[in-house]
Amino acid sequence: MEEKSGIILVAYLDSATNDLIRRQILSAGFAGEIIVSDDRDEQRQRIISYKPDLIIVGIKKGGVDIIRFCQRKSPQTNIFVYSGSVNAQNLAMIFCVNAFLAKPAGGREITEVVRRLL
């Protein structure tokens, strides 16, 4: 990844997934700030306070609520849904997110989407 910068919020309830995504982005040469949160209330606060350039979120367990919240409170933020949920791609299209990638995608695919959206 060429030196991209900006603010990315990685917003999963699973800290292992958050860490995996964060490490993939950093190893690809991302030069910006990566905020990681596994708590939905904290994620809402981070959206308001940081106005991230990109949020990476799953669909399950309140992810749709985070997508809708982000679209209302930080409409300039690009939304990238990375999910293994059966209905995730349909929901991503319904909510007009900027990108969708099905699990289990590899680090190269994740960083390609990040590069495109920043």
Confidence check: pLDDT of 2 > 60: no
* Local confidence band at 3 (pLDDT 50, 70, 90 cut-offs): low
Confidence check: pLDDT of 60 > 90: no
With respect to residue 2, please indicate whether it lies within any of the assigned structural domains. no
pTM of the model: 0.88
Q: Which residues contact 90 (CB under 8 A, 6 or more apart)?
A: none
With respect to residue 12, please indicate whether it lies within any of the assigned structural domains. yes
Q: Could you tell me the CATH number of the domain that includes residue 108? A: 3.40.50.2300
With respect to residue 80, please indicate whether it lies within any of the assigned structural domains. yes
Structure confidence at residue 41 (pLDDT): 94
Structure confidence at residue 93 (pLDDT): 73
- Using one digit for the tens of pLDDT, what is the confidence trace for 8-26? 999 988 888 899 899 988 9
Domain that holds residue 32: 7-117
Query: Could you give the number of structural domains in the chain?
Result: 1
Question: What count of residues does the chain have?
Answer: 118
3-state percent helix, strand, coil for the chain, nearest multiple of 5:
45, 20, 35
Structure confidence at residue 32 (pLDDT): 85
Strand, helix or coil at 58? Answer: coil
Q: How many helices and strands in the chain, by DSSP H and E?
A: 5, 5
Structure confidence at residue 1 (pLDDT): 46
With respect to residue 1, please indicate whether it lies within any of the assigned structural domains. no
With respect to residue 56, please indicate whether it lies within any of the assigned structural domains. yes
- Using one digit for the tens of pLDDT, what is the confidence trace for 72-117? 999 999 999 988 776 776 777 777 888 888 877 778 888 888 988 9
